[in-house]
Chain A
Amino acid sequence: MSIKITKEIIEKIEGEAQLELVWGNGRVKDSKVKFFSYRGMEEIIQGRHPLDALVFTPRVCGICGHAQLMASVHALEDIYQNCGIKIELSQKAKKIRDLTLDCEIIQNHLKWYFFIILPILYKIKGKVFPKSKSFKALNATIKANKIIATFAGQWPHNSYMIPGGIVCDPTYVEIYQAKSYIDEVISFFEEEIVKGDINSIVHIKNIKELMDFEGFLKETVNIIQENDLAHLGKAHDRFIAFGENSIFEKGKAIKTVAKGVHPRYIQEESLDFTYAKNVTYNDRFYEVGPLARAMIASNTLAKSLHRVYKDSVLNRIVMKVMEIAYLSYQVRDTLECIDINEKSFIKPKVKIETLEGTGNGFAEAARGSLYHSIKIKEGKIDLYNIITPTQWNLGNSTKSEELSTIQQALLGLRNENEISLIFRSFDECSVCTTH
């Protein structure tokens, strides 16, 4: 058997990574992912005022900075709770935090789908994806970002969540503006992705119902099936999520059974050839992201797809695209039930710099679970640790008995088309991984 090794730079993943593949008999036998740059965000934050973390951590990543902010504020609030000081959050603050994070996820998924996945799929069928469609999608992302900016001041990089709430105090003028922006996002989804009404789309239960709707999602499924890709890209069929909101639940799922999770079982491992650290839960590699979230929340469509396709590239892509619909629907709904008369911010009883202790914060970022852990000592940040979604999905196993999620997913693939589709289905983020 001839063994061949190829190395390829994967670009436009918020930076780059090198994918090293070991081939045998025309198939991928093993793989390694290497990230080049390390920026040292955790060290940069050390020694600073605890609240300054809210300015630094969004700058971990240009595309998921809002999730970083959410994880950071949760970790700071957890320190209060661990010190026995109750943090009161109004429903208004909670809802607005959730909906702006939802918008960040929406814009991320739209960019991924229209700038990465659809162009790859079109290439597979020998066509060029029309640029005008990508720009139309970009226009929808601009609308989603306007919603974030309406409450948070700007996107990317705001710091509007603070322990005890949010800094903005919107009127219904802003609420209605945000509503019209989300309506525009929904219209785009309805016109291009599934030609149909979002109210029916969010209730799709199986692939048969899904294929009743014309549009890019149906085309996506068709291309994947026609090119025998539907069963590729299966990993360990293990999912994990730590963040929670009105749609997402925290938990882990092995095949389709979801259970509770606890951060004490999360482990990080440094490797000598890459700046990305491995991360495992109870010594096992898990998949994070939209498919994981859907499986853990027992989403009917995900479970129905899972019966046939398991955790394959088809299920992963479909659930990520569908998450745009679920979240847009959720944002519109949330905007309708915000009571602006509630407080935006309830000042914590003591200043955070007077506390000592540690806190854990989670958020579901676009690409999966994000974890921040903070230790405060003598009024300063003593230790800051960040674990990002791509670390979960793109590990490099050092054990013989188990491959990482991506290694397992790439195993047995035959050509560039398959590899690029499966690799990019995880929507990796280089800058997050090498924070």
Chain B
Amino acid sequence: MYKKSILWIQGITCNGNTQSFLNFPRLEIFTKQYKFLYHPYLESTLDINEALNYKEKIDFLIIEGAISKEFVRAGEIFYEKVKLLCKNAKYILAVGTCATYGGIFKEKDPKNITGVVYNKEESNGFLSEFRKKVFNLPGCPAHPEWIVYTIETLSAKGKLKVDEFSRPKEIYGYLTHHGCTRNEYFEWKVDTKNFGEKEGCLFYIQGCRAPITHGSCNKILWNEVSSKTRSGSPCFGCTESSFPRKNMFETKTFMSIPADLPTGVSKRAYLTVTGIAKTFHIKRLKEKLI
């Protein structure tokens, strides 16, 4: 039986997506269904230099990490090699925020480092000529279920619905906020008094970006158990082109309301609801849960 091939190659990266992928609970079965021409950790058909110089058709080219024209991978200029791989690939998955927009490693030299298609939010990344077959899976790192879902759907259906950044809608149609265990505090505008507490919302003071960030972190839980916001950490907005932002543990405010409002909510709507919510002092929400 023909097994679809996957070639996973890395630009400027920390290996976070590779390691995240190893958390996929059904990986053994997955590796039996697909052929890994190259994976940075798992056993593969090719070695790294053969992979970089591979000239045959590839079903799925996975690119992890940011792109620069000078970056050297295993002794070879990565950019020169990856272009041919892109040409020969049926689908390209830009996995992680660095591959999608440039991410953290773009900060080193913003003019000369981009994502595959995107350069922050602009679509002039160094490999943007291949944009038609690129699917972006931002996240620092991307969740393994997001990666497998994309491969499986493309394998079975040949297409999937994407948003304006070519992110699969079934993953990025949600906001990280959806499913957060602190939602009720958000509804009633009750902020958390401090880090290290179960109660309260992290949106008002601690810098949480969940209502402004596309992703399924609170629907498809991390490591199948939790998420940043559930555990008490603000969402840093890592699936968006603005990541990494400045002062990430702090909410920027304007006239004492968050400067960035929930996606798609007008200032008027937000202020009206907030004004009303705040006039009610709900005792239960001010008390400890336990």
Contacts and interface: CB of A to CB of B under 8 A. Distances in A.
Given A177-B225, A431-B14, A9 B49 contact: yes
A149 B226 contact: yes
A115 B228 contact: no
A86 interface: no
Contact of A132 (B18, B28, B227, B244): B28
Residue among A44, A51, A62 facing the most chain B CB atoms (10 A cut-off): A62
A145 B247 contact: no
A345 B194 CA distance: 8
A150 B226 contact: yes
Interface residues of A, number: 65
Given A59-B16, A111-B22, A131 B194 contact: no
B2 interface: no
Interface stretch (B81-89, B231-239, B253-261, B263-271): B231-239
A138 B27 contact: yes
Interface in B139-156: 140-141
B53 to A, nearest CB: 13
B275 interface: no
Contacts of B231: 149-153, 158, 160, 167-168
B13 interface: yes
Contact of A52 (B16, B40, B232, B244): B244
Contacts of A12: 40-41
Interface in B1-50: 10, 12-20, 22-23, 25, 27-28, 40-43, 47-49
B15 A56 contact: no
A137 to B, nearest CB: 11
Interface in B196-238: 196-198, 217, 222-233, 236
A429 to B, nearest CB: 9
Interface stretch (B68-76, B128-136, B161-169, B278-286): B68-76
Q: Interface residues of B toward A: which range? A: 35 or more
Contact of A37 (B28, B71, B230): B71
Contact of B225 (A18, A44, A150, A167): A150
A153 B227 contact: yes
Nearest to A152: B231
A157 B217 CA distance: 13
Contacts of A159: 228, 233, 236
A39 to B, nearest CB: 6
A65 B16 contact: yes
Contacts of A142: 22-23, 25, 223
A11 B47 contact: yes
A167 B28 contact: no
A49 interface: yes
A52 B246 contact: yes
24 contacts: A9-B48, A39-B105, A56-B244, A59-B16, A60-B14, A61-B14, A62-B19, A93-B196, A111-B41, A138-B27, A149-B222, A150-B226, A150-B231, A152-B231, A153-B231, A154-B222, A158-B233, A160-B231, A160-B233, A165-B196, A166-B232, A169-B197, A171-B290, A344-B232
Interface of B: 10, 12-20, 22-23, 25, 27-28, 40-43, 47-49, 71-75, 104-105, 107-109, 140-141, 194-198, 217, 222-233, 236, 244, 246-250, 290
